[in-house]
Amino acid sequence: MAAFLLLESSPVMLAPWHAFSGCVPESGKPAFEAAHGVDVWGYASGDPEHSELINEAMACDARLVVPAILEDCPSLFDGFQTVVDVGGGNGTTLGMLVKAYPWLKGTNFDLPHVASVAPKIDNVEHVGGDFFVNIPKADAAFVMWSLHDWGDEECINILRKCKEAIPKDGGKVIIVEAVIDEVEEHEFKDVRYVLDMVMMAHTSAGKERTQEDWTNILRESGFSRHTIYPIRAIQAVIVAWP
């Protein structure tokens, strides 16, 4: 957890919390933009050290969450030969998946400044691009903790691009995100609400979502059906079919 704590306690990420009091009444800007003049992704693209801190924090999360995915959803990639990790950072998540499923070939897809410095990983190709424009083709698209960084319209756009990247027959999109349940008690319930505040501080329109929110977004994105699988982590696995 060291990398995640270093990221969240860095001066860059702490500054937006102090901008809350003025950003709404004075400028209407998101807190991060009010503090730094650009959004979190624009800032990271111009600061390699901060970008690396983000990627290391996401890798830290992967090392915690992927074992839960493998244990609780062991057949997730059965029948697939290729997978694209959308917003996959430095490839840590995809590296763990292709090691667990050795028949898989992976494409780690992220912004060019991230993909260009990602380390070499067996059976993984790093590709730079923009997931609002185009996503590399694969049998399955995997999206872990990226959609909560964006508002509903942006999520729908990303998911439509994911749907275009997979086969109409037999393909699927695998989403790993928190699902807030406002009624049921859960050991991570409070953490999920805290993460919702973090999204408010660090993104322009990001948020954690309820089951109803995910249903609406996936329907608007054109998916015919989906299933939510709880795992022993803050996140759940949401599988959606075209």
Q: What is the pLDDT of residue 5?
A: 82
Bridge partners (DSSP) listed for residue 127? 109
Tell me the pLDDT tens digit for each residue of 203-226: 888 899 999 999 999 999 999 999
- Sole residue written with tokens 């992927």: 66
Q: Is residue 144 part of a domain?
A: yes
Tokens representing 183?
A: 């009624």
Per the DSSP assignment, residues forming a β-bridge with 142 are 85, 174
Catalytic one of 56, 177, 202, 226: 177
Annotation marks residue 177 as catalytic: yes
Is 0.75 surpassed by the pTM of this model? Answer: yes
- Structural domain containing residue 200: 69-241
Determine, yes or no, domain membership for 134.
yes
In a domain, 16, yes or no: no
Tell me the C-alpha distance between 137 and 155, whole Å: 19
Residue 216 domain-assigned?
A: yes
- Catalytically annotated residue among 50, 126, 148, 202: 148
Catalytic residue among 208, 212, 220, 226: 208
- Of the candidates 126, 89, 93, the one whose C-alpha atom is nearest the C-alpha of residue 107 is 126
Report the pLDDT value the prediction gives residue 196, as an integer from 0 to 100: 80
Q: What is d(CA 61, CA 50) in angstroms, rounded to the nearest whole number?
A: 17
Q: Is residue 63 part of a domain?
A: no
The total domain count for the chain is 1
Task: Copy the structure tokens of residue 191.
Answer: 């953490």
Residues 6+ apart with CB under 8 A from 198: 8
Flag whether 14 is in a domain: no
44 inside domain: no
Of 87, 82, 84, whose CA–CA distance to 206 is shortest?
87
Tell me if 86 is assigned to some domain: yes
Number of neighbouring beta carbons within 10 Å of residue 92: 23
Q: Is 148 a known active-site residue?
A: yes
Q: Digits of tens for pLDDT over the chain (242 positions)? A: 677 788 888 999 999 888 776 665 555 688 899 899 999 999 999 999 999 989 898 888 899 999 999 999 999 999 999 999 999 999 999 999 999 999 999 999 999 999 999 999 999 999 999 999 999 999 999 999 999 999 999 999 999 999 999 999 999 999 999 998 755 555 666 776 788 888 888 888 889 999 999 999 999 999 999 999 999 998 999 999 99
Looking only at the bridges linking them, the beta strands covering 235-241 and 225-230 are antiparallel
Assign residue 105 the CATH number of its domain.
3.40.50.150
